[in-house]
Each structure stands twice: as C-alpha cells, then as structure tokens.
Amino acid sequence: MAGSNFYIWTVGCQMNVADSQRAAEAMMRAGYTQTFSVADADVVILNTCSVRESAERRTWGKVGALARLKRSRPDTIVVMMGCMVHPDRAMLHRQFPIVDHFIPAGDVDELMASVPKVEDEWGTQLYDLPTASGVTGFVPVVMGCNKFCTFCVVPYRRGRERSIPIPEVVEEVERLASHGVREVTLLGQTINHYGRDLPGRPDLADLMYAVHEVEGIERIRFLTSYPRTMTDKILEAVADLPKVCEHINIPFQAGDNDVLRAMRRGYRIEQYIELIHRVREIIPGVSISTDIIVGFPGETEEKFQRTYDVLEELRLDIVHIAPYSPRPGTKAYEMGDPIPLEEKQRRFRVLEKQHERISGELNAALLGTVQEVLFEGTQRGKWKGRTRTNKLVFVDTREDLAGEILPVRIDRTSAWAMQGELVATAARSPLATV
Ligand code: SF4
C-alpha cells in the first residue's frame, strides 16, 4: 500500500473535529498521506453526526456522491465513524452498502485496525500521535456522557463518561504546544464531570491548574458544561488562572420546567438562572453561550415564551438554537414529533431575531475598547481571531499574524463579529495596516 492517500470528512460538534484530528494524525503516523480531494483517496473516512436529522442528511448526501466514486474505483475503502454508527451493523450495511467499515465514535484504534497497513507499526495510544497543526487545538478529556437527556443520542453512541488522567492530558497539551499550538480547548460532553471516575477524583479545576503550567500555551478553554453540577471551585479556577479564558458554554435547552422535566435535564430553570448569576459574580467580564431546542414535544406557545423570557432576562452572548429533531432510539422519540416543522422554524426565527438584537447590543458596548485577540488565520483577505471571551474579530492588515496575541481597538461591531485595528505597542510599532 505504498503511497496511500486518505480523505477525511467531518460533520458535527468539536468532539468530532477532535476525533477527526486524532484519526488523521494516526493515519499519517501509519504512513498514509492526507489528501483534500476525494478523487485521489484510497481510504475515505466519513466522521458523522446523529444529533440532528439535518446532520444525518448531509452524510446521506455525501454517501450518495461517493457511490459514483466507488463504482468507478471499487477498491477505494470507505469508512464511516462517528455518532451515526450504532450497534446494529447489519442494518448499517443494508443502509450504506458502499461503506466497508463502521467504526464507533472516537474509536481510532478500531479505525486503524480496519484499514490496510502501510507501515509496520502505528500508534494506538490515545495521544501518542506525532503531528499537530494550527494555532488552536482540541483535547478530549472526558469521553461519553452519563446523563441520558431524553432527546440525545450521545450516551448511546459514545458510551459512559471516561476521563483521561491528568498526566496524559498534560503530555498531550505539551505535544500540541511543541507544534505551535497556543490555545487548547478541553473537551467533554459534560466537561465539569471531569475526574469523577479517576482515582482520587481530581476535578476540572485541578486539571486546569495542571494544564496552566504548560509553557507555550497562552489560552485555555473548556466545553461543554452541564448546569446542575457546575461547582464554585471550577468557576473560581477560571477567575484565578490568567490563561483560562472568561467564556463558558452552559446549555439550558428550554425555559419551561415541564419541558425541562420531559427532556430529563435534571434542573429547574430557576436553578439555571441562579447559576448564571453566580458565574457572573465569580468571573468578572465573563461571556456565556448556551444551546436551546425549540419545538420539543409538549412545548406550547406559552412554554416557548418562557424560553424567550429567560433569554431576555439573562442576555447571554451567544445562543445556539436548533429546531427539535426526533432521534430514533432516544426516549423522546417515543413522544412523537407533534409540533409542525413550520412552527418550529417560526420559533427558531423568533429566538434568532432576539439573539441578533441582544448580541448586537452586547457587542456594540465593546466599540472603542481594546481587546486581546489571538489570530488564527485569514478569511476573505482579513485576519481572523478571537477575544478571550470568544468573540470573532477581523483585522485588515498585510502582516502575518498567525499565532500572535495582540491588542485590537474595536471600531465596528455586529451581532456575529467585530472589526478593529491593531494597537501599536512598544514591541510592534509602526503597524503596517492597509
Ligand atoms: S448532557 Fe444530555 S444533551 Fe449533553 S451529551 Fe449528555 S445526554 Fe446529550
């Protein structure tokens, strides 16, 4: 198999992106070369998502397009991994006859065992991989989820929570830093449950203190927090550690207690509101993002209005909204899908408009301020980076800013992004902006 190429396609959350990075690095370690043209690939890996129907539809489209390739080059190996891979392999083979191997979400070992060997050995340890690229990197630290919210397939596809011990995480972060990564995001579906299954029960705060010591890493983020189990110790660590960014993602999903109960989220909305006040009290200047589902079975207009009212009260920085999409195999699937799609889309638009207004106002308050931005790359000829609070900033300059953390004066804002100019500093003056 000398000179073999692989192509990898990813849809879904940051955990999937991290899995794809690990898969790509393991393939390269095994002697494969990454190609960005599917036509040149000997192995095609589809890393799928099953959290929403729309994500599944994208995979179906991709498989349809690949069917032509497989007809003309039948020896191309097609691998499907990620959350669409459920235990009923016979059904999967019937549904996707062109797919040769089905690999459970995140199982890089099984992926490597299923593709032909190019070189004699390959790494099978979680983090024993040679390369990394880019300024920012994802580091999975808790796999799986124990919560079983009624709408969610994740616990069925990714299994129970398993934490990676602190020394292994630190080793991986050191490896990323040695490749030029300056910001790491620690990942878990319930990141604040980190360490519950480890000896001595270290928590996310302990992990952040350890990662904070890694030289070369300037920023640390973490995703996704489960509301009921967020502790003051974790919040205080965020406030205390200079490298940990003041941004927290805490989904609340619905503003009505009956809907929350039907979702089996395990908290009342009053507790969520109280948590947000606590987060803001402990971490000055924090930005908060959340996830919302509209049109869950039983969400009447009145119950939907409660979600709107909570968002109005809390004025969160970023709101990810999704129309409810029933997922086979979940508890909620048995409740049917009684709210028509048009109504779900209407509720989606109502919240999106509200979010645009609130985010626009929050960002406008930053006009004229100087923000510290880590630059990641270019987009449409401008440099793109993020503030510590995870807001997108564009700067028009000819300088190479990759990996730089620089002060930027904000001169234009919208709900989705901001624009600004580099601020001259003693170390960088004059600046070659155009
Ligand atoms: S906490 Fe709930 S929504 Fe999040 S991954 Fe676990 S089951 Fe899914």
Query: Among 83, 152, 250, which residue has the most ligand 1 atoms within 8 Å of its CB, making it the best to mutate?
Result: 152
Atom of ligand 1 nearest to the CA of 153: 8
Query: Among 51, 149, 196, 265, which residue has the most ligand 1 atoms within 8 Å of its CB, making it the best to mutate?
Result: 149
The span from the CA of 280 to the CA of 286, in Å, is: 6
Atom of ligand 1 nearest to the CA of 226: 1
Sign for the pseudo-dihedral over CA of 111, 114, 116, 117: positive
DSSP state of 116: P
The span from the CA of 51 to the CA of 14, in Å, is: 13
Tokens encoding 429: 């003056």
CA dist list (Å): 64 to 14, 180, 274, 310:
25, 38, 48, 42
Q: Which amino acid is at 310?
A: V
Rounded to the nearest whole angstrom, what is the distance from the C-alpha of residue 268 to the centroid of ligand 1? 16
Rounded to the nearest whole angstrom, what is the distance from the C-alpha of residue 159 to the centroid of ligand 1? 11
Rounded to the nearest whole angstrom, what is the distance from the C-alpha of residue 149 to the centroid of ligand 1? 6
> Across the strands, what pairs with 142?
163, 188
The span from the CA of 415 to the CA of 355, in Å, is: 8
Q: Which amino acid is at 142?
A: V
**Per-residue confidence (pLDDT) for residue 87, from 0 to 100:** 86
The span from the CA of 68 to the CA of 392, in Å, is: 39
Atom of ligand 1 nearest to the CA of 265: 2
Rounded to the nearest whole angstrom, what is the distance from the C-alpha of residue 236 to the centroid of ligand 1? 24
Domains and CATH numbers, the chain: 5-126 (3.40.50.12160), 129-364 (3.80.30.20), 370-422 (2.40.50.140)
Atom of ligand 1 nearest to the CA of 148: 7
Atom of ligand 1 nearest to the CA of 224: 4
Atom of ligand 1 nearest to the CA of 158: 5
Rounded to the nearest whole angstrom, what is the distance from the C-alpha of residue 364 to the centroid of ligand 1? 33
Placement of tokens 């083979």 in the chain: 93
What pLDDT, in 10s, does the model give residues 121-172?
A: 444 344 444 344 589 999 999 999 999 999 999 999 889 999 999 999 999 9
The span from the CA of 361 to the CA of 320, in Å, is: 17
Rounded to the nearest whole angstrom, what is the distance from the C-alpha of residue 319 to the centroid of ligand 1? 17
The span from the CA of 163 to the CA of 146, in Å, is: 12
Tokens encoding 418: 């901001």
Where are any strands of DSSP class E within 170-250? Answer: 183-188, 219-223, 247-249
CB-based burial of residue 103 (10 Å sphere; 0-12 exposed, 13-18 middle, 19+ buried)? buried
- Angle at which helix 232-240 crosses helix 204-212, to 10 degrees, equals 20
Mapped onto helix, strand or coil, the DSSP state of residue 193 is helix
Placement of tokens 């830093």 in the chain: 177
Residue nearest to atom 8 of ligand 1 (CA): 152
**Per-residue confidence (pLDDT) for residue 117, from 0 to 100:** 76
Query: Which value, to the nearest 10 degrees, does the dihedral of the CA atoms of residues 396, 401, 407, 409 take?
Result: 0
Tokens encoding 262: 């039907």
pTM for this model (two decimals): 0.87
Mapped onto helix, strand or coil, the DSSP state of residue 298 is coil
Cβ partners under 8 Å of residue 234, min gap 6:
192, 203, 204, 205, 208
Sign for the pseudo-dihedral over CA of 196, 198, 204, 205: positive
Report the Cα 380 to chain-centroid distance in Å.
23
The span from the CA of 215 to the CA of 193, in Å, is: 26
**Cβ–Cβ < 8 Å for 67, 87:** no
Rounded to the nearest whole angstrom, what is the distance from the C-alpha of residue 426 to the centroid of ligand 1? 47
The span from the CA of 230 to the CA of 157, in Å, is: 24
**Cβ–Cβ < 8 Å for 103, 96:** no
Residue nearest to atom 1 of ligand 1 (CA): 147
Rounded to the nearest whole angstrom, what is the distance from the C-alpha of residue 173 to the centroid of ligand 1? 26
* Ligand 1 pocket by Cβ (under 6 Å): 145, 147-149, 152, 154-155, 189-190, 226
Cβ partners under 8 Å of residue 368, min gap 6:
409, 410, 411
Rounded to the nearest whole angstrom, what is the distance from the C-alpha of residue 151 to the centroid of ligand 1? 8
Rounded to the nearest whole angstrom, what is the distance from the C-alpha of residue 265 to the centroid of ligand 1? 8
Element (H, E) at 160: none
pLDDT means per 10 residues, the chain with 434 residues, are 80 89 88 90 93 89 90 92 91 93 91 79 40 78 95 91 97 94 96 97 98 98 96 98 97 98 98 98 97 97 98 97 93 96 97 97 97 94 95 94 95 95 70 36
Element (H, E) at 225: none
